[in-house]
Amino acid sequence: MAARAYEYIIIGGGLAGASAVAGIREIDKNGPVLLAGAERQLPYDRPPLTKKLWFGKKKVEDIFIKDRQYYDDNGVSLIVGRKIVSINAREKTVTDEKGEAYSYKKLLIAAGGIPRRLSIPGGELEGVCYFRTLDDYLATRQKSVQGASATVIGGGFIGSEIAAALSVNGVNVTMLFPGDYIVDRVFPDYLGNAVQQEFMKRGVNIINRDTPASIEKKGKGFAVRTGKGRLINSEIVIAGIGITPETGLAESASLGIENGILVNEYLETSSPGIYAAGDIANFPYTALGKRMRLEHWDNALNQGKQAGRNMAGAHERYDYMPYFFSDLFEFGYEAVGDVDARLETYADWTKENETGTVYYLEDGKVRGAMMCGIWEKVGQARELIKKAEHVDRPRLSGAIR
């Protein structure tokens, strides 16, 4: 059977893929588009899964990026709940898990990442949730009744956000992670410890500097034994220990891979006509002069759109500086640039209202900024980073407030 022909094929039904549709249609109003997603739902925003859905600020129907009518109106064929399993770059075809083939002129891989799994006894038990998808949210929400208990494995972004969300909803939460404090890859120690104290004041049981060694079923719940011999009993177990970029398809097409799919400044891979965007793309971050792979909503939104425009012939560099945000109980922040806790940091804090900016410095230059309790200042932070000037700490006082 001949492959069904499309001008553009997008692999990945997340934000980057949906944004690519918008980018394509800004340039090419008519070229046939196929959007193929492994999840059974239409493309949706992921941040609400650990944020607004838990706090009543959004309903499930609000998180979908566009409704089905939008795709119909824009000439987009949809395949949901079916994986693309191979790419033939020479013949410019892709094949799905049912053996159906589709041909393309331009291809975007926006397949995101897959949750890292626990390689311990019981890590694959039914009911252990590797929190990533809308289905994961729906299943967890059903179990998260007042007074229930949960063990959250992982102290990074997802682990800390879901722990806060569960706690606000009356669940008794224990966090288990190997670091000294939560989100230790981003927060400097003084900030991380302060945020962790707030978690503890809210009743979250923190077990740090320890790791899970095994998980067993115990009645209707689970027993998690740690490397240091602790035993944690709970009805819910959630693992949020990061994702691995889904590079299997790229490998099948012999694309350049290094911590994701390598792309150039136009988001094109080592194979002409094949692009990558979102969590999966390792791209040149112009303002920082280095390559990065970012797992953030704003990057997927803007990178996906730019990839779509370039697929349709725009040939524009992606030099946007994406930001990210989080809410942990009453502590919220926006951040941009290289916010790596291993860099030198300087905190410009206002004690009166407990807000401030943490600057991340390298060789005397601002490389990143985290605005804590300060909103709509990302533009200022971007300009500081772009200048790449040597700055002394007094000059940073009051720069962003």
Q: What percent of the chain has pLDDT over 70?
A: 99
Question: For residue 355, what is the domain's CATH number?
Answer: 3.30.390.30
155 in the same domain as 132? yes
Residues 102 and 29 reside in one and the same domain: yes
**Does pLDDT of 399 surpass 90?**
no
Q: Does 211 reside within a domain? A: yes
Report yes or no on 324 lying in a domain. Answer: no
Q: Say if residue 258 is in the same domain as residue 235.
A: no
Tokens at residue 310, please? Answer: 């370039």
CB 167 within 8 A of CB 204: yes
Q: What is the largest CA-CA distance in the chain?
A: 70
* 182 contacts 199 by C-beta, under 8 angstroms: yes
- Per the structure, the count of domains in the chain is 3
Note the pLDDT of residue 167: 97
Domain boundary pick from 258, 284, 311: 311
Name 192's Cβ contacts closer than 8 Å, sequence gap at least 6.
180, 181, 182, 183, 184, 341
Specify if 12 maps to a domain.
Answer: yes
Residues 68 and 95 both lie in one domain: yes
Q: Please check whether residues 15 and 104 belong to one and the same domain.
A: yes
Q: Tally the C-alpha atoms within 13 A of residue 280's C-alpha that lie toward its C-beta.
A: 31
Tell me if 123 is assigned to some domain. Answer: no
Residues 252 and 105 in one domain: yes
pLDDT in tens, 364-395: 999 999 999 999 999 999 999 999 988 887 77
For residues 53 and 90, membership in a common domain is answered with yes
137 and 152 share one domain: yes
- Of 239, 258, 293, the residue that ends a domain is 239
Residue 354: per-residue pLDDT: 80
Q: Which residue has the tokens 């605005």?
A: 371
Q: Which residue has the tokens 């027993």?
A: 223
Q: What would the pLDDT profile of 13-53 be if each residue is shown by its tens digit?
A: 999 999 999 999 999 999 999 999 999 999 999 999 999 99
Q: What angle do CA 133, 171, 195 make, to 5 degrees?
A: 85
Q: Looking at the domain assignment, is residue 38 inside a domain? A: yes
Quote the domain boundaries for residue 388.
Answer: 330-396
How would residue 352 be classed by pLDDT, with cut points 50, 70 and 90?
low
Same domain as 251, residue 224: no
Roughly what angle, to the nearest 10 degrees, separates helices 297-311 and 15-27?
30
Query: Which DSSP category does 287 fall into?
Result: G
Tell me, yes or no, whether 221 lies in a domain.
yes
Sign of the torsion angle spanned by Cα atoms 214, 218, 220, 224: negative
Residues 107 and 251 in one domain: yes
CATH number of domain containing 225: 3.50.50.60
Residue 344 has pLDDT above 80, yes or no: yes
Q: In this structure, are residues 120 and 212 in contact, taking their beta carbons and an 8 Å threshold?
A: yes
Q: According to the model, what pLDDT value does residue 353 have? A: 61
CA distance from start to end of the chain: 62
Query: Could you report the per-residue pLDDT of 101-123, keeping only the tens digit for each?
Result: 999 999 999 999 999 999 999 99
Would you say 234 and 127 are in contact if contact means Cβ atoms under 8 Å apart? no
Does residue 321 sit within a domain?
no
- What is the share, in percent, of the chain residues with pLDDT greater than 90? 93
Is residue 307 domain-shared with residue 339, that is, in the same domain?
no
- Same domain, yes or no, for 12 and 89? yes
Contacts for 221-230 with beta carbons within 8 Å, 24 or more apart? 221/149, 222/122, 222/125, 222/127, 222/128, 222/151, 224/151, 224/153, 224/176, 226/176
The reported pLDDT for the residue numbered 27 is 98
Last residue of a domain, one of 311, 343, 366: 311
CA-CA-CA-CA torsion for 158, 243, 259, 155, nearest 10 degrees? 40
Query: Which class for 379: exposed (0-12), middle (13-18), buried (19 or more C-beta within 10 A)?
Result: exposed
Q: What is the pLDDT of residue 350?
A: 82
Q: Which residue intervals of 102-237 are DSSP H helices?
A: 134-143, 157-168, 189-201
Residue 396: per-residue pLDDT: 85
Answer yes or no: is pLDDT of 92 > 90: yes
Question: Rounded to the nearest 5 degrees, what angle is found at the Cα of 336, between the Cα atoms of 335 and 340?
Answer: 85
Give the model confidence (pLDDT) of 199-217 as tens digits: 999 999 999 999 999 999 9
Mean residue pLDDT across the chain: 95
- Over range 137-163, report the average pLDDT: 97
pLDDT of residue 214: 98
Domain-located, residue 119: no
The tens digit of pLDDT for each residue in 244-280 reads 999 999 998 999 999 999 999 999 999 999 999 999 9
